[in-house]
């Protein structure tokens, strides 16, 4: 992910606090996770790749087009089509991070991403 997504999310949030955004979306994303997305890196210092589900939640929270966030995150190319190279790399990244210290929330995000991949062609 380029920092373009993080900058855009920060701009959308404006002066609203991270905690307020998290509360407004009923805690579906934590304030620390939203902060990580805005910075473009996780608390571990590694690049962060938001799941399509997280982007959907944020698109609803900020009342912006889901496709715009998907594009900024690298899931869609300039024409709005799925970027297979990017998706394949993200799948490898997800698979590499499935280990014993995955939290329940992280595992849910992984499963949501897998569902997105499996179902995207069925929803056309």
Q: How high does pLDDT run on average in the chain?
A: 79
- Number of structural domains (the chain) is 1
- pLDDT confidence of residue 47: 86
> d(Cα 69, Cα 59) in Å, to the nearest integer?
7
**CATH number for 90:** 1.10.260
User: Torsion angle of alpha carbons 82, 88, 93, 97, nearest 10°?
Assistant: 100
What pairs with residue 15 in β-bridges?
none
Condensed to tens digits (0 to 9), the pLDDT of residues 36-81 reads: 999 999 888 888 888 888 999 999 999 999 888 988 888 776 655 5
> Over pLDDT 90: what percentage of the chain?
37
In a domain, 105, yes or no: yes
In a domain, 13, yes or no: yes
In a domain, 77, yes or no: yes
Residue 120: closest CA among 31, 30, 53: 53
Give me the domain span that covers residue 24. Answer: 3-119
In the block, residue with structure tokens 């995000």: 109
What pairs with residue 82 in β-bridges?
76
In a domain, 124, yes or no: no
In a domain, 9, yes or no: yes
Q: Assess whether pLDDT exceeds 70 at residue 95.
A: no
> d(Cα 62, Cα 17) in Å, to the nearest integer?
13
The confidence band for 20, taking pLDDT boundaries of 50, 70 and 90, is very high
The confidence band for 3, taking pLDDT boundaries of 50, 70 and 90, is confident
């Amino acid at each position: 992910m380029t920092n373009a997504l993080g900058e855009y999310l920060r701009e959308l949030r404006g002066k609203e606090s991270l905690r307020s955004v998290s509360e407004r979306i009923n805690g579906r994303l934590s304030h620390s996770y939203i902060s990580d997305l805005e910075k473009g890196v996780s608390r571990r210092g590694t690049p962060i790749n938001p799941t399509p589900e997280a982007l959907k939640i944020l698109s609803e929270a900020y009342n912006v087009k889901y496709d715009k966030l998907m594009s900024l995150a690298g899931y869609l190319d300039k024409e709005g089509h799925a970027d297979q190279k990017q998706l394949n790399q993200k799948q490898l990244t997800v698979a590499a991070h499935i280990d014993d210290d995955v939290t329940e929330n992280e595992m849910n995000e992984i499963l949501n991403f897998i569902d997105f991949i499996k179902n995207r062609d069925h929803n056309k």
